[in-house]
Every structure is written in structure tokens, then in C-alpha cells.
A = this chain, B = another copy of it.
């Protein structure tokens, strides 16, 4: 196959995979808008569309360069500062050895950073102010994510040590999860989330169909997320790999659903729908660090185990009195860690110690920086709604409208 055909196929693959990942922004939006109370829906919609826009702009302004350009020259710790610009001069003059249009790669990487930011917004819903959240998002997508990204995908120090994270269990999901966890601790729980003796009080979401649709959209988008991370469709071997990734991704999600379904019946004596939906996502996050080397049955078990760990994570957060509105920390952080550490189970080139080092280094950096930013924002502009505004709901108090108006005329 000639270089130009490979170039076209790779570019097409990046773009359509990237479009699927872009649609995950809608999935997160619905998952979150369904899980909050009806008085906080419009605010969460606002945050989600705005964060996707912010992520794109920041990754253009500084993120991409910081993650991918000149990392070696900075001891593998971070890249350079600079606006992203396409560089297709060689291809334009007929040398297609670069393998793909550079803009396609930028687009694909940009939708990944937006995913990390989406994770944060769900955890902190119903009590964080819009503008400080967007400021945090700008720093997360412009600086924090790109710095740790440079360590691995930018060819930095963790990559040199052999740390492996195929599509980002740690690089995307755990990074989002750590940022969310830091924020949840600094911000505190919603009023009424824990009672006088510290027991968790369930706060049901306003619309489970929205949550379910969001989950299905995320599941769909994950084919682009994991499949596209093969980064190439220019050979038969790539095609075999991408097919395997699709099947493993699907099966890990199915494992997450079924293990949580059975476990919730056994432990709680009833089926817990929101947890089952999160079970799908737990499976997906778990397989993301390595959707390629597992056999399909192994993918099922890795996803299923992720589902159980997610359930344990939910309990742990409740014990710790940390309020995570949508369960993003158990899904993205707990399963992001699990997926990353599970890589050596099926990939003999990966080492547990290196995987653990990567998890700790990226987790340490992201949590410390995130906590610092949250504390700085808290000390200056403030990050939390006044208690009376929170009770009233952000929709009315922050943006002055309601998300729903059900009124059936005079008929």
C-alpha cells in the first residue's frame, strides 16, 4: 500500500474516531444533567458546553505544544509554550511519511483533554460556582493535563521508563478523577448530603432516562476513544488491532454492567440502576489502559472487576463524607488506577512497579496542583455558592432560569 493511501486512511480514522469522542461531551452532559436535582440542571448544561469550548481553545493556545513539542529538551518533564499550528508541508509536497494530517491528530488529542475536564464537572455539581469552575478547567486543560501527558504520550520520562497507558485510564480518566477528588474535598459536600451523624443521605437525580442515554453515548464514543488510540489504520495489522479493541471495549463495558447487576442484587437485594449504568463506564475506564492485549474473556473480567471496585469506591467515598454527585471518582479514578495496574496481567511487556510509579506520579502531581488551584480560588474569588443560593438551586440563583417548564395549557 502506498504512503498516500495510508495517510488518507489514518487521517480519516483520526477524524471519525475524534468525532465519536467529541460526542462523549454530550454523554457526560446528559449523565450529569440527569443525576443532579432539577434545580441544578441548567447550570450543569452551561458548564458542560462551556468546558468543551474552553478545552479546545486552551489546547490550541498552549496545551498541545506543552504536551507534544520539545519534551525531550526539558528532561521529559514538559514541552514548549506556543500556539498550535498545522505542519503538513511535507505531505503537501508529496512526502506522506508523517502518516497523517497533523490537524487530525490535534483534533483527536483535543477531544481527549475535553473528556478529562468533563469528569470534574459531574463530581462538583450543585454547589460550585460557574466561573471559578471554568477557570480551573482552563488550567487543567491548558497546563495540568498537558504536563502529565508529556510524561507519557509526549515521549517524556515515564514513557522512557516503559509506563504504558494505551488510551488513557490514567492519562485522561484518573487525571480527571484526581482533579475532581481534590475539588470535592476543598469544596465540601452538598448541604444535606450527610446527616447529623454523618450518614450518607441519597439524593436522587431528576431524570434517569438522561443518565441512561448519556451512558449509551459514552459507550458509543468509547469505540472512538480506544479504537482511535491505535493512532493508525494503515496496515492489516492495524485493522486487526482496532477490531480487537472494539470488541474488548464493548465486552469490558458489558462485564461492568453484569457484575454490578449481580452484585447489587446479592449485596443490596435489589437492582441499583444508577450503579449499573456506572458499571458500564467502570468497565470502559478499566479497559482503557490496555484494550488490545487482553483476550475478549479477559476484557470481560477486567471490566467486571472494575465494576466491583467502582461499587467499593462509592462506599468508601460515603464513609469519607466526600460528595461526588455522579460517582465520577469511583468510575474514573478508581477504575483508572485499576485499569492501569491491570495492564501487566495481559501485557508481558508492562511491569507492575512501573505502572504503579506512573499512577502515583501522575496522581501526585495532578492532585497537588489541583488542590493548590482550588484552594487559591477559594481564598480569592470563592468557589462555592452561598448556602441560600445552593438551597434555591444554581439554576435560579446563578443564571436566573429553570431548566424545565412543564405546563399543559388550558386543555
Chain A interfacial positions (CB closer than 8 Å to B)? 1-2, 4-5, 7-9, 11-16, 18-20, 22-23, 25-26, 29-30, 33-34, 37-39, 41-42, 45-46, 48-50, 52-54, 56-57, 60, 83-86, 88, 91-92, 94, 96, 100-104, 106-107, 110, 130, 204-210, 212-213, 215-217, 219-220, 223, 227, 233-240, 242-244, 246-247, 250-251, 253-255, 257-258, 261, 270-273, 276-277, 280, 295-297, 300, 391-393, 396-411
Contact yes or no, A243 B15, CB < 8 A: yes
What's the nearest-Cβ distance from chain B to residue A128, in Å? 14
Contact yes or no, A233 B29, CB < 8 A: no
A84 closest partner in B (C-beta): B296
Bound: A91/B250 CA distance, A: 23
Bound: A255/B61 CA distance, A: 13
What's the nearest-Cβ distance from chain B to residue A65, in Å? 13
Chain B residues near A23 (CB-CB < 8 A): 216, 220
Known: A8-B9, A49-B277, A107-B250. 11 other contacts (CB 8 A): A8-B234, A12-B239, A19-B246, A29-B212, A41-B209, A42-B208, A86-B247, A94-B236, A102-B243, A208-B404, A406-B406
Given the known inter-chain contacts A23-B220, A206-B405, A272-B399, please indicate yes or no for A242 contacting B52, CB distance below 8 A.
no
Chain B residues near A25 (CB-CB < 8 A): 216
Chain B residues near A246 (CB-CB < 8 A): 15, 18-19, 103-104, 107
What's the nearest-Cβ distance from chain B to residue A100, in Å? 8
Contact yes or no, B8 A238, CB < 8 A: yes
Contact yes or no, B53 A257, CB < 8 A: yes
Chain B residues near A407 (CB-CB < 8 A): 37-39, 206
Instruction: State the number of copies, please.
Output: 3
Contact yes or no, A236 B96, CB < 8 A: yes
Contact yes or no, A240 B88, CB < 8 A: yes
Contact yes or no, B406 A233, CB < 8 A: no
Find A276's partner among B15, B46, B270 (CB 8 Å cutoff). B46
Chain B residues near A235 (CB-CB < 8 A): 4, 8
Give the 6 A-B CB pairs with smallest separation, nearest first. A26-B216, A39-B409, A53-B254, A103-B243, A101-B243, A104-B243
A212 closest partner in B (C-beta): B45
Residue from A25, A243, A255, A258 whose CB has the most chain B CB atoms within 10 Å:
A243
What's the nearest-Cβ distance from chain B to residue A113, in Å? 13
Chain B residues near A41 (CB-CB < 8 A): 208-209
Given the known inter-chain contacts A251-B60, A280-B49, A410-B392, please indicate yes or no for A209 contacting B210, CB distance below 8 A.
yes
Contact yes or no, B5 A5, CB < 8 A: yes
Jot down 10 A-B pairs with beta carbons below 8 A, ordered by A: A7-B236, A22-B220, A38-B407, A39-B408, A103-B244, A104-B243, A204-B401, A205-B405, A273-B399, A393-B408
Chain B residues near A54 (CB-CB < 8 A): 254, 258
Bound: A295/B53 CA distance, A: 17
What's the nearest-Cβ distance from chain B to residue A20, in Å? 7
What's the nearest-Cβ distance from chain B to residue A405, in Å? 5
